[in-house]
């Protein structure tokens, strides 16, 4: 029972204290699981009051409780109306009144605000992989003091609590300090703490009041390094014994063990790009075991992949695009190892596998041929042993755990093949999904049941093979990092089953940026976030839960999409004429107040005869008569049958005038698109009184022909729309959705935050503990041409390149003038730079990133291979994974050498390992023996751009 109101004689008084600096109009409160703490209703939580203690502002609150009281609680920063401004990250705090507390006594709870960066090390990547090797540390046996000594009035029972997520096997935790109970700074005589679960260590001791104030620190004792004190200043604890009611018990929640920032490294390579001695035409899930070996031998803690979900939408090489999922749950059959499907393969199938291996072992991936070969062989093996597999307890368990997505997926694949299209609007009575139709289609009595079961069978074995690789990675303390695509294909299982979750008349993309000056159109439908919120984003939570079965970290593709997405009409092909969703549009009333009235002039393509003559020359009259109407003298508009980008493409193909422009069709298409995009305002298709400024509107001839007043007004409104008025809306939007993702699993989350970055993005990412991405050639600072890795903040992943841009070698060769500037300004040499990225250049660039303060340095495998000349004899352009400017790019790059060959290349392995050790980054620690350690970290490695010195507190 909790006592509120007047203090009861049978009550125990709890006083909460938390140091926290607030701004005017802000305050702190506690919300928790008991009525006295508001029953998790923040509006009814315990309000705290500020007091000054030395240089600190400490927030305090008091409640009276009965013996046996326990609760969960968290701290919240609120405004004057108790609206939440910020909250603690991580699990809820747990409190249980210590044994031996007597009625009428006072218990003080000293807390520290829990930050997102602390919570990162409780994620599975660290807790169960890097520092756990797949196992959780078992709670120890506590030796808490149940009663104080006989000097009741002259002592205080102090409970020390510390969070130690970065802890290797066989390590003990102590608290040492200025009192005899804490060893008087002799580490070995300090108070030993006990693990109580969730990386929390505790111990109690009785300290006489004459010993206060006390100073103390926590320390670790491991088998290799012995005792090591936490960094930063000494912790201090003072009690005012002159007050009327000094505490009898102190519970110190001291946050995290303070140490120099942990830094790791990894390798990135798409699954399809891996080459091994056993694969069949493409990298396979079981090849991940070799990549784990490569990581361990190189000194890496992480292997990063691109998405591995099924993308079999078109039945052709277009499906090589890994970000256009057929299903967000199903794995891609491309990565199946067919020879591992059975231990009893007939000789003719073994021969067929060997024959296909020889045929498909090419420079690049042959997507269609590889898919066809694997599915053909798998079908033969399935027919041989389907009864044995489908009746096995292992399969039945897999089916039971996954049937919610597995049944619709298998049915979709069957219908796709039956109707020869993934466009489910063409499936007749099956075009609208229903559970009743699904159950009939997948029932054992169905004529198609064998075909349905084949898809179950493939997914089951993909699950087994990826699970085997994931288990191997965890045992070797290597993190597998997956990729969460921002979209799904509009012809996918997900849009078929959950059409209400998508805005099917729209398309997603990105505004003009580093990757494409014309913007990008990815073709995915945008999300109906309002509908998704009704079940607390269950679809997203299920995605992350499924992903966490295999991965302990993930990259959120285009994290900006969780703040706002670039939305395009479904009839668009390019990405330029879009708008942000959500966003606050320009209203017609607002524009009229600014003196803008001619909305047709501003929102319709601005087509004048001189523009047509300039673009099309002698062909202008043919173009005009085919595509345009002259609605008044010298003024034109697009005809109804070609007033969208998709219609223009179709018209170019079918027009009787086609022979006149056959050789110039691509240029004419581009010029017609330019005319269609020659607008200033985009009218909202759902509300004609709302408008959105076209991106880069000042570049249009429509804008250039306006009067000066209109130009000035529109420039001001443009800046406001893109850089000011949306910030709070986008922040609120992200804080609704991103926490749901982060709390759906215990994977470590990284966000791809490249492109046009709103001001609200990085503060929200920091608040939520999301790790950003830094690519040197794409600095987030507008005044820099090249990023400065030594100045990156700790909460980042740094890399010299990524899959969406050219590799380090290709980038070096692309632009001679830029190469000169880099050589002079970054490398610091006035000599003539080499025309190719030789091993010395590669070593310099890689070393910059290894030595960066970033938590992770993750390198594309191609960039690491540049360390050795023999791996750079082929053209650098062949290493390209993706060309973002080409929506129909063929994703087919394969590493030129097998992983087995790389593992046997001692020179390369040593070169990479030397970079790891010299930079002080952590090494994988196998079977309790560390090949390196963080003792090499010194004050030269900055955190958030500031030097870490011995007296600096580091979270």
Per residue in 435-467, pLDDT (tens digit) is 999 999 999 999 999 999 999 999 999 999 999
Cα separation of 18 and 415, whole Å? 60
pLDDT digits (tens, 9 = 90+) for 1-55: 344 444 455 689 999 999 999 999 999 999 999 999 999 999 999 999 999 988 8
pLDDT average, residue stretch 266-291: 98
pLDDT digits (tens, 9 = 90+) for 780-817: 888 899 999 999 999 999 999 999 999 999 999 999 99
Q: Are 812 and 840 in contact (CB under 8 A)?
A: no
Q: Are 650 and 670 in contact (CB under 8 A)?
A: no
- Reported in sequence order, the residue ranges of 100-181 that DSSP labels E, i.e. its strands, are 106-110, 155-163, 172-177
More confident residue, 186 or 782: 186
End-to-end CA distance of the chain: 37
Cβ burial, residue 65 (10 Å; 0-12/13-18/19+): buried
- pLDDT confidence bin for 514, thresholds 50/70/90: confident
- pLDDT confidence bin for 662, thresholds 50/70/90: confident
Model pLDDT, residue 926 = 55
C-alpha angle with apex 625: 619 to 626, nearest 5 degrees?
90
pLDDT digits (tens, 9 = 90+) for 353-407: 999 999 999 999 999 999 999 999 999 999 999 999 999 999 999 999 999 999 9
Q: Are 855 and 262 in contact (CB under 8 A)?
A: yes
- 292 Rama class: left (phi>0) / alpha (psi -120 to 50) / beta: alpha
Query: 121 phi and psi, to 5 degrees?
Result: -80, 0
Only one residue has tokens 């709890």, namely: 14
Q: Are 270 and 893 in contact (CB under 8 A)?
A: yes
Helix axes 538-547, 727-743, angle to 10 degrees: 50
Query: In angstroms, what CA-CA distances link 668 with 7, 506, 616?
Result: 84, 26, 8
**571-575, 644-648, 660-664, 860-864 — which is least confidently predicted?**
660-664
**205-209, 363-367, 673-677, 948-952 — which is least confidently predicted?**
948-952
Report which secondary-structure segment, H or E, holds 839. Answer: helix 839-850
Only one residue has tokens 């969730």, namely: 198
Report which secondary-structure segment, H or E, holds 833. Answer: none
Cα separation of 250 and 107, whole Å? 6
pLDDT average, residue stretch 931-946: 33
The CB density around residue 176, as the number of other CB atoms within 10 Å, is: 21
Q: Are 655 and 622 in contact (CB under 8 A)?
A: no
Q: Which of 58, 68, 76 shows the shortest CA–CA distance to 95?
A: 68
Q: Are 846 and 859 in contact (CB under 8 A)?
A: yes
Model pLDDT, residue 153 = 63
Model pLDDT, residue 930 = 41
Model pLDDT, residue 140 = 54
- Contacts (Cβ under 8 Å, ≥6 apart) of 954: 231, 232, 258, 259, 260, 261, 943, 948
Q: Are 101 and 135 in contact (CB under 8 A)?
A: no
Report which secondary-structure segment, H or E, holds 503. Answer: strand 502-503
Structure tokens at 65: 């409780």
Cα separation of 611 and 311, whole Å? 43
**What's the predicted TM-score (pTM) here?**
0.91
- Reported in sequence order, the residue ranges of 48-153 that DSSP labels E, i.e. its strands, are 49-53, 56-65, 70-78, 84-87, 93-96, 106-110
- pLDDT confidence bin for 943, thresholds 50/70/90: very low
Model pLDDT, residue 734 = 96
Alpha helices in 482-641 (DSSP H): 493-497, 529-532, 538-547, 588-593, 599-603, 609-616, 620-627
Cα separation of 852 and 375, whole Å? 45
Helix axes 435-442, 393-419, angle to 10 degrees: 110
Model pLDDT, residue 796 = 97
- pLDDT confidence bin for 544, thresholds 50/70/90: very high
Only one residue has tokens 């009281």, namely: 69
Cα separation of 254 and 235, whole Å? 9
Q: Which of 479, 457, 446 shows the shortest CA–CA distance to 333?
A: 457
Structure tokens at 843: 């070593």
**181-185, 244-248, 514-518, 576-580 — which is least confidently predicted?**
514-518
- Contacts (Cβ under 8 Å, ≥6 apart) of 871: 865, 896, 897, 908
- Contacts (Cβ under 8 Å, ≥6 apart) of 783: none
- pLDDT confidence bin for 243, thresholds 50/70/90: confident
Judge whether residue 132 has pLDDT over 70. Answer: yes
- pLDDT confidence bin for 139, thresholds 50/70/90: low
pLDDT average, residue stretch 178-200: 94
Report which secondary-structure segment, H or E, holds 403. Answer: helix 393-419
- pLDDT confidence bin for 167, thresholds 50/70/90: confident
Model pLDDT, residue 702 = 97
- Contacts (Cβ under 8 Å, ≥6 apart) of 462: 285, 331, 332, 333, 335, 336
DSSP secondary structure letters along 369-396: HHHHHHHHHHHHHHHHHHHHHHTSHHHH
pLDDT digits (tens, 9 = 90+) for 693-737: 999 999 999 999 999 999 999 999 999 999 999 999 999 999 999
Cα separation of 695 and 42, whole Å? 41
Structure tokens at 618: 């002698």
DSSP secondary structure letters along 633-676: TTEEEE-GGGSSHHHHHHHHHH-TTGGGTGGGHHHHHHHHHHHH
Report which secondary-structure segment, H or E, holds 285. Answer: none
Judge whether residue 942 has pLDDT over 60. Answer: no
Report which secondary-structure segment, H or E, holds 32. Answer: strand 27-32
The CB density around residue 135, as the number of other CB atoms within 10 Å, is: 11
DSSP code at position 584: -
**Percent with pLDDT over 90 in the chain:** 84
Tell me the chain's radius of gyration from C-alpha atoms: 32
**Percent with pLDDT over 70 in the chain:** 93
Alpha helices in 769-898 (DSSP H): 808-814, 816-825, 839-850, 861-865
Judge whether residue 517 has pLDDT over 60. Answer: yes
DSSP code at position 132: T
Average pLDDT for the chain: 91
Model pLDDT, residue 16 = 97
Model pLDDT, residue 225 = 84
Structure tokens at 837: 């990225």
Only one residue has tokens 């990298």, namely: 283
Structure tokens at 60: 């305090």
pLDDT average, residue stretch 193-203: 92
* 3-state SS, residue 14: strand
Cα separation of 769 and 495, whole Å? 31
Query: 724 phi and psi, to 5 degrees?
Result: -130, -60
Model pLDDT, residue 227 = 94
């Amino acid at each position: 029972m909790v006592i509120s109101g007047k203090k009861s004689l049978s009550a125990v008084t709890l006083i909460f204290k938390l140091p926290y600096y607030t701004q005017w109009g802000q305050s702190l409160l506690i919300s928790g699981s008991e009525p006295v703490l508001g029953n998790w209703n923040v509006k009814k939580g315990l309000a705290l009051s500020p007091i000054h203690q030395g240089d600190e502002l400490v927030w305090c609150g008091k409640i009276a409780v009965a013996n046996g009281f326990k609760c969960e609680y968290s701290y919240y920063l609120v405004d004057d109306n108790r609206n939440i401004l910020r909250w603690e990250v991580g699990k809820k705090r747990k409190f249980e009144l210590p044994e031996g507390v007597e009625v009428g006594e006072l218990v003080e709870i000293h807390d520290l605000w829990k930050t997102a960066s602390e919570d990162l090390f409780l994620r599975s990547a660290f807790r169960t992989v890097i520092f756990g090797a797949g196992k959780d540390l078992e709670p120890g046996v506590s030796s808490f003091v149940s009663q104080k000594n006989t000097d009741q009035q002259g002592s205080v029972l102090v409970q020390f609590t510390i969070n130690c997520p970065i802890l290797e096997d066989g390590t003990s935790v102590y608290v040492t300090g200025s009192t005899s109970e804490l060893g008087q700074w002799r580490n070995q005589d300090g108070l030993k703490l006990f693990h109580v679960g969730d990386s929390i260590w505790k111990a109690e001791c009785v300290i006489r009041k004459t010993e206060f104030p006390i100073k103390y620190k926590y320390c670790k004792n491991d088998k290799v390094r012995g005792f090591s004190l936490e960094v930063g200043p000494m912790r201090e604890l003072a009690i005012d014994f002159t007050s009327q009611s000094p505490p009898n018990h102190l519970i110190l929640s001291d946050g995290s063990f303070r140490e120099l920032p942990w830094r790791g490294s990894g390798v990135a390579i798409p699954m399809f790009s891996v080459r091994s001695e056993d694969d069949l035409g493409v990298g396979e899930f079981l090849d991940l075991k070799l990549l784990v070996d490569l990581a361990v031998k190189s000194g890496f803690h992480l292997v990063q992949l691109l998405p591995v979900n099924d993308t079999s939408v078109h039945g052709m090489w277009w499906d090589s695009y890994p970000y256009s999922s057929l299903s967000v749950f199903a794995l891609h059959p491309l990565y199946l190892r067919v020879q591992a499907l059975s231990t009893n393969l007939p000789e003719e199938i073994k021969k067929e596998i060997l024959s296909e291996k020889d045929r498909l072992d090419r420079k690049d991936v042959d997507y269609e041929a590889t898919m066809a070969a694997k599915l053909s062989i798998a079908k033969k093996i399935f027919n041989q042993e389907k009864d044995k597999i489908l009746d096995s307890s292992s399969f039945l368990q897999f089916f039971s755990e996954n049937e919610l997505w597995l049944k619709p997926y298998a049915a979709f694949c069957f219908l796709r093949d039956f109707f020869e299209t993934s466009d489910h609007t063409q499936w007749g009575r099956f075009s609208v999904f229903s559970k009743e139709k699904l159950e009939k289609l997948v029932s054992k009595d169905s004529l198609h049941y064998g075909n349905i079961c084949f898809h179950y069978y493939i997914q089951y074995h993909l699950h087994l093979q990826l699970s085997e690789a994931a288990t191997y990675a965890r045992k070797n303390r290597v993190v597998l990092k997956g990729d969460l695509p921002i979209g799904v294909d509009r012809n996918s299982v997900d849009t078929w089953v959950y059409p209400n979750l998508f805005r099917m008349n729209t398309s997603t993309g990105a505004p003009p940026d580093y990757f494409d000056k014309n913007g990008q159109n990815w073709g995915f439908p945008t999300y109906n976030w309002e509908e998704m919120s009704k079940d607390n984003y269950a679809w997203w939570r299920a995605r992350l839960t499924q992903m966490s079965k295999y991965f302990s970290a993930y990259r959120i593709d285009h994290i900006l999409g969780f703040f706002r997405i670039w939305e395009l009409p479904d009839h668009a092909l390019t990405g330029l004429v879009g708008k942000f969703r959500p966003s606050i549009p320009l209203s017609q009333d607002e524009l009229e107040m600014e003196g803008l009235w001619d909305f047709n002039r501003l929102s319709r393509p601005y087509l004048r005869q001189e523009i047509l003559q300039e673009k099309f020359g002698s062909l202008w009259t043919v173009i005009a008569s085919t595509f345009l109407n002259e609605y008044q003298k010298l003024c034109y508009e697009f005809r109804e049958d070609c007033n969208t980008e998709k219609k223009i493409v179709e018209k170019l193909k079918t027009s009787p005038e086609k022979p006149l422009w056959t050789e110039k069709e691509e240029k004419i298409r581009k010029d017609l698109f330019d005319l269609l995009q020659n607008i200033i305002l985009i009218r909202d298709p759902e509300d004609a009184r709302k408008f959105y400024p076209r991106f880069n509107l000042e570049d249009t001839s429509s804008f250039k022909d306006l009067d000066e007043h209109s130009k000035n007004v529109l420039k001001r409104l443009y800046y406001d729309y893109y850089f000011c008025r949306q910030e709070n809306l986008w922040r609120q939007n992200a804080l609704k959705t991103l926490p749901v993702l982060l709390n759906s699993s215990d994977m470590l989350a990284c966000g791809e935050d490249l492109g046009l970055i709103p001001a609200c993005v990085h503060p929200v990412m920091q608040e939520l503990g999301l790790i950003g991405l830094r690519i040197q050639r794409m600095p987030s600072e507008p005044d820099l041409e090249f990023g400065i890795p030594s100045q990156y903040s700790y909460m980042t992943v740094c890399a010299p390149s990524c899959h969406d841009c050219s590799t380090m070698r290709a980038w070096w060769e692309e632009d001679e003038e830029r190469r000169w500037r880099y050589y002079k300004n970054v490398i610091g040499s006035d000599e003539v730079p080499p025309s190719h990225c030789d091993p010395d250049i590669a070593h310099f660039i890689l070393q910059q990133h290894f030595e960066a303060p970033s938590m992770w340095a993750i390198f594309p495998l191609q960039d690491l291979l540049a360390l050795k000349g023999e791996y750079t004899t082929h053209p650098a352009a062949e290493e390209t994974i993706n060309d973002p400017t080409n929506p129909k790019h063929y994703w087919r790059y394969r590493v030129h050498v097998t992983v087995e060959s790389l593992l046997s290349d001692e020179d390369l392995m040593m070169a990479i390992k030397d970079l790891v050790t010299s930079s002080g980054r952590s090494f994988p620690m196998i079977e309790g023996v560390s090949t390196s350690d963080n003792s090499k970290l010194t004050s030269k490695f900055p955190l958030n751009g500031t030097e870490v010195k011995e007296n600096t507190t580091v979270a």
